[in-house]
């Protein structure tokens, strides 16, 4: 294929330019008039406030993700080192790390329960 042939093929699939009446149709559409309504703004502000409050509460209530896998691996390695590196100490270290993680989660839950009790 030559360049002119390609251009002719592409010309067949180019979109048409917008019509003259399009600008007037957009300006007179019902949605355009609704956007100007003063009754819309209180609802939009209320929705934005509700979204902000919801996101704020979600961030405060949902606990941060637990330690990453790398941090957990370092924690287990440190416990293995403290246990002396004896055979089977890696299993015991993983069990200890799980117990510590569970204790941290329980403490976090107790703190939130105490905060809820104060606000009631």
Domain residue limits at 116: 65-120
Residues recorded for the chain: 120
Q: What integer best gives the mean pLDDT of the chain?
A: 80
Is residue 98 assigned to a domain? yes
Q: Give the global pTM.
A: 0.39
Is residue 9 assigned to a domain? no
Is residue 69 assigned to a domain? yes
Q: Express each pLDDT in 94-110 by its tens digit.
A: 999 889 888 988 898 88
Is residue 109 assigned to a domain? yes
Is residue 82 assigned to a domain? yes
User: Rg for the chain (alpha carbons), in Å?
Assistant: 32
Domains identified in the chain, total number: 1
Q: Tell me the C-alpha distance between 114 and 15, whole Å.
A: 64
Is residue 51 assigned to a domain? no
Residue-level pLDDT at 56: 84
């Amino acid at each position: 294929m030559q360049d002119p042939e390609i251009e002719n093929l592409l010309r067949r699939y180019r979109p048409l330019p917008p019509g003259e009446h399009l600008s007037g149709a957009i300006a007179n559409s019902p949605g355009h008039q609704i956007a100007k309504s003063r009754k819309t703004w209180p609802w939009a502000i209320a929705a934005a406030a509700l979204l902000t409050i919801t996101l704020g509460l979600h961030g405060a209530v949902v606990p941060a993700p637990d330690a990453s896998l790398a941090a957990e691996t370092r924690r287990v390695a440190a416990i293995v080192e403290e246990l002396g590196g004896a055979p089977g100490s890696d299993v015991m270290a993983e069990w200890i790390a799980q117990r510590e993680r569970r204790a941290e989660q329980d403490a976090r839950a107790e703190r939130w329960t105490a905060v809820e009790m104060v606000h009631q």
